[in-house]
Amino acid sequence: MLRDAPKFHEVAKRIIEITEGCIIVAHNAQFDYRILSLEFDRLGYPFERTTLCSVELSQELLPGHNSYSLGKLTKALGITMSNRHRADGDAIATVKLFKLLLEKDTEKTIINNSIRSFPKKHMDTKLKDLIRSVPSETGVYFMHNVNGTIIYIGKSKNIKKRLTQHFTNDNRKSKQMQDQVETVTYKTTGTELIALLKENEEIKRHKPKYNRALRRTKFKVQLSHYTDSEGYIHLKTERADGRKESITTYSNAMSSKANLERIIDSYDLCQHKTLYNDKSGNCFNYTIKKCNGACIGEESPELYNLRVQAFLDKHSYKNKSMVIVERGRSSDERSAVLIEDGVFMGIGYFDLHFQLNNLDLLKSIITPMEDNRDARHIIQSYCRSRKRLKIIPLDQITH
């Protein structure tokens, strides 16, 4: 979306003209103002404006809401939103909210008292230097304290942008990291999949103090299957359990339910055979001709199971051997993620002109990585979300 957009320095003068003599209104205004100030700092321009925060005003004028995030607050107030998390959509929603707040504050005393003038707070030179030291590329980054100990590990499709967010955020965790970080190192990966896999492995290896949540397994729900006494294969979602075989895993119950609905719809499966609607009689899909009657015995187990097996063959990694090929860290490089007999083996990079026609040569470029449930979850989730992904079965690569 931003490929052809102008750079900040090309629009900076227009921003100065638009905001001259004005008050900047924003949802969490301090964050937006710090981002603007940082960009003008880089240009050497002393940008100073007053601000009004619609979060602070909403808490004062609209008490009692469970959440004051822009999305939840506007929904609760019946304010329509489009293009959520896009500049125009969020800006228009903020305008509508601000108009409501202006009406609520009939005397305008609360709004006048809420105007803030932030003293010019320059970002620490150390943090600016750290931002300059990293590239705007996909990869994994490591924050180190003065002793060299890793205190935080993250991944991003744009390391520089993500680091800027860390160093301009005002939340407690970000401020602590800003105080303690001394150096930042990084590894470019070329693809988000490898960045996710390396982040997962490095966090488990180093256990940084500010990555507490990600030290644990990321998935909560798994999709499994079993065959009933009549021979029908059932799909079911259940709490993730490493002792049981699973087809794939999900971060939460909501995503597992949504995905199961897509599976039922895509393969014309019976709702009763997915434990999605486990009742007697025919399922709802049968009434709308999306189920062929497995629920009431009209479709034989053999015919029904052909569609279930088609899903399993496509999505289950059990005993599956393949290599996922994507772009590399440069234009003349490609990346490879190797899965052998359902086990994640590792990642590697190879020259654009290298032909993947020899399994021994492929294995020679692979750097081994630990196969664990989180790694498998990452690979499965990534493959589910990418419609165009080059996957080569290993049986197509000769020894």
Q: What is the pLDDT of residue 373?
A: 81
- CA-to-CA distance for 142 and 153, rounded, in angstroms? 5
Q: What are the beta bridge partners of residue 322?
A: 339, 393
Indicate whether 216 pLDDT > 80.
Answer: no
The CA distance from 324 to 384, in Å, is: 13
Largest CA-CA distance found in the chain, in angstroms, rounded: 81
Cα-based angle 285, 291, 297 (whole degrees, multiple of 5)? 115
| Average pLDDT of every residue of the chain | 88
37 against 189, higher pLDDT: 189
Counting the structural domains of the chain, the total is: 4
**Quick one: tokens of 169?**
């955020």
Instruction: Indicate the Cα dihedral angle 390, 391, 393, 399, nearest 10°.
Output: 60
pLDDT digits (tens, 9 = 90+) for 314-341: 777 766 899 999 999 999 999 999 999 8
Indicate whether 3 belongs to any domain.
no
What secondary structure does DSSP assign to 45-105, as a single string? -----EEEEHHHHHHHHSTT-S--SHHHHHHHTT----STTSHHHHHHHHHHHHHHHHHH-
Q: Are residues 328 and 389 in the same domain?
A: yes
Query: Where among 293, 315, 337 does a domain terminate?
Result: 315
Please provide the DSSP assignment of 314-357 as one string.
Answer: HH--TT--EEEEEE-SSTTEEEEEEEETTEEEEEEEEETT----
Same domain assignment for residues 307 and 378: no
397: its two tokens: 């690569």
Query: What is the number of other CB atoms lying within 10 angstroms of the CB of residue 85?
Result: 9
Shared domain for 282 and 373, answered yes or no, is no
Q: Is 312 exposed, middle or buried (0-12, 13-18, 19+ CB in 10 A)?
A: middle
Residue-wise pLDDT tens digits, 75-92: 899 888 877 777 888 999
In sequence order, the β-bridge partners of residue 235 are: 225
In a domain, 184, yes or no: yes
- Eight-state DSSP code of residue 7: P
Residues 107 and 14 in one domain: yes
Tokens of 360: 């021994």
Q: Which residues pair with 152 in a beta bridge?
A: 143
Which residue range forms the structural domain that includes residue 332?
Answer: 322-396
User: Would you state the pLDDT for residue 184?
Assistant: 97
Asked if residue 263 is part of any domain, the answer here is yes
- Residue reference for tokens 């299957």: 225
Do 303 and 341 share a domain, yes or no? no
Domain membership of residue 367 (yes or no) is yes
Q: Which residue has the higher pLDDT, 185 or 47?
A: 185
Answer yes or no: is 1 within a domain.
no
Residues 311 and 326 in one domain: no
Residue 280 has pLDDT above 60, yes or no: yes
- Write down the pLDDT at residue 163: 94
Instruction: List the one residue out of 132, 134, 143 whose CA is nearest residue 181.
Output: 143
Query: Does some domain include residue 2?
Result: no
Domain boundary (93, 117, 141) is at: 117
241 and 294 share one domain: yes
Span of 3-12, 29-38, 263-272 with lowest mean pLDDT: 29-38
DSSP state of 268: T
**pLDDT grade for 399, boundaries at 50, 70 and 90:** low
CB-based contact 377:218 (threshold 8 Å)? yes
- Are 334 and 365 part of one and the same domain? yes
CA distances from 260 to 221, 287, 322 (A): 12, 19, 25
pLDDT at res. 306: 94
End-to-end CA distance of the chain: 43
Domain containing residue 185: CATH number: 3.40.1440.10
Amino acid at 187: K
pLDDT band at 121 (very low <50, low <70, confident <90, very high): low
Residue 292, domain member (yes or no): yes
For residue 27, being part of any structural domain is answered with yes
Q: Are 392 and 350 in a shared domain?
A: yes
- Looking at the structure, tell me whether residues 14 and 108 fall in a common domain: yes
* Confidence band for 217, pLDDT divided at 50, 70 and 90: low
In this prediction, residue 354 carries a pLDDT of: 79
- Look at residues 206, 203, 224, 222 and name the one whose alpha carbon lies nearest to residue 214: 203
Residues 349 and 258 placed together within one structural domain of the fold: no
DSSP 157: S
The pLDDT of residue 105 is: 86
Q: 70 to each of 28, 165, 172, how far by Cα in Å? A: 9, 19, 21
Question: Which of the given ranges, 63-67, 323-327, 377-381, has the highest pLDDT on average?
Answer: 323-327
CA distance 135 to 140: 11
In the predicted model, what is the mean pLDDT of residues 171-198? 94
* 372 phi/psi in degrees, rounded to 5: -140, 175
Give Cα 244 distance to the centre of its chain: 27
| SS3 state at 136 | coil
Q: How confident is the model at residue 277 (pLDDT cuts 50, 70, 90)?
A: low
- End-of-domain residue from the set 271, 294, 315: 315
Tens-place pLDDT, residues 18-55: 999 999 999 988 888 888 888 888 888 888 889 999 99
In contact, 153 and 202? CB cutoff 8 Å: yes
Does 346 lie in the same domain as 306? Answer: no
Question: What's the CATH code of the domain at 94?
Answer: 3.30.420.10
